[in-house]
């Protein structure tokens, strides 16, 4: 009973935040992650995005994207730990192979930035729907074409994940055993990666054509009404936009001072 109430309160809390605020959260946390100069600062930003993740009602698709990104992060850690040009201090030896502190720290910093982007983006994707986003953005003054382009970019990763699930289901139907180890999964993913990306973009183009044929870009089209109210949406927009500008200014100042 308590778990049900907790899930309901999380859903109510995330539903009261408007889509633009959630997009600005992605921008703010991404900028904060790139402004972080060390692992401690990056870890603090990562903890805040993890707090957003725990508010999600379902986390299945998030863990799937995280598992794929962890493969990339582990690859970066190995490559940077061995070959980063600034490597000087040996961290540890794995047999005759030496891993260096500078490269490992740099790779972990890059990896934390990737996770921040994934976690904050997942919060937006999992707590909003296409119809809700379209209504809100059109009500805010964007044209339907602009809304469609924005939504296509935001939802391209979930679309690719759904297509990947279809490919894996087809492989199982043909009697191909699913890969168990991380290396085996990577080897099975590589041959279908390019067709997967092409198919996802092709589906987005097909949806665009079908919407044009239905007259969704007509100038006389009525904007759908919003069916919910949001908590202090304008104030949240101003606050997050101001904080993002501050982070941009900090980053520019750091670049100038170098």
What pLDDT does 245 receive? 94
What pLDDT does 226 receive? 61
What pLDDT does 130 receive? 73
Helix axes 39-54, 101-127, angle to 10 degrees: 20
Phi/psi at 94 (nearest 5 deg)? -115, 90
What pLDDT does 15 receive? 77
Residues of the chain with confidence (pLDDT) below 50: 1-10
pTM over 0.85: no
DSSP code, position 181: S
Gap between the Cα atoms of 131 and 123, Å rounded: 17
Phi/psi at 201 (nearest 5 deg)? -70, -35
What pLDDT does 48 receive? 92
What pLDDT does 9 receive? 47
What pLDDT does 16 receive? 82
Q: Report the SS3 class of residue 250.
A: helix
What pLDDT does 2 receive? 42
Q: Any idea where the domains of the chain sit in the sequence?
A: 1-128+231-253, 144-216
Gap between the Cα atoms of 112 and 107, Å rounded: 9
What is the tens place of the pLDDT at every residue in 95-123?
888 888 888 888 899 999 999 998 888 88
What pLDDT does 246 receive? 92
């Amino acid at each position: 009973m308590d778990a049900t109430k907790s899930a309901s309160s999380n859903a109510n809390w995330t539903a009261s935040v408007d889509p633009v605020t959630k997009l600005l959260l992605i921008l703010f946390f991404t900028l904060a992650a790139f402004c972080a100069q060390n692992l401690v600062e990056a870890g603090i930003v990562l903890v805040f995005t993890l707090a957003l993740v725990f508010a999600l009602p379902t986390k299945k698709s998030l863990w799937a994207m995280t598992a794929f990104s962890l493969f990339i992060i582990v690859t970066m850690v190995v490559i940077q730990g061995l070959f980063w040009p600034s490597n000087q201090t040996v961290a540890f030896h794995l047999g005759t192979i030496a891993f260096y502190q500078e490269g490992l720290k740099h790779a972990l910093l890059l990896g934390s930035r990737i996770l921040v982007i994934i976690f904050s983006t997942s919060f937006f994707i999992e707590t909003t729907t296409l119809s809700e986003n379209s209504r809100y953005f059109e009500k805010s003054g964007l044209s339907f074409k602009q809304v469609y382009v924005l939504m296509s970019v935001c939802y391209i990763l979930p679309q690719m994940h759904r297509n990947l699930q279809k490919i894996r289901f087809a492989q199982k139907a043909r009697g191909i055993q699913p890969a168990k180890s991380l290396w085996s999964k990577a080897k099975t993913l590589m041959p279908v990666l390019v067709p997967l990306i092409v198919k996802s973009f092709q589906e987005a183009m097909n949806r665009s054509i079908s919407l044009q044929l239905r007259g969704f870009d007509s100038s006389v089209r009525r904007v759908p009404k919003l069916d919910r109210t949001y908590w202090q949406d304008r104030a949240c927009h101003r606050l997050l936009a101001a904080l993002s500008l501050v982070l941009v200014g900090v980053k520019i100042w750091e670049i100038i001072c170098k």
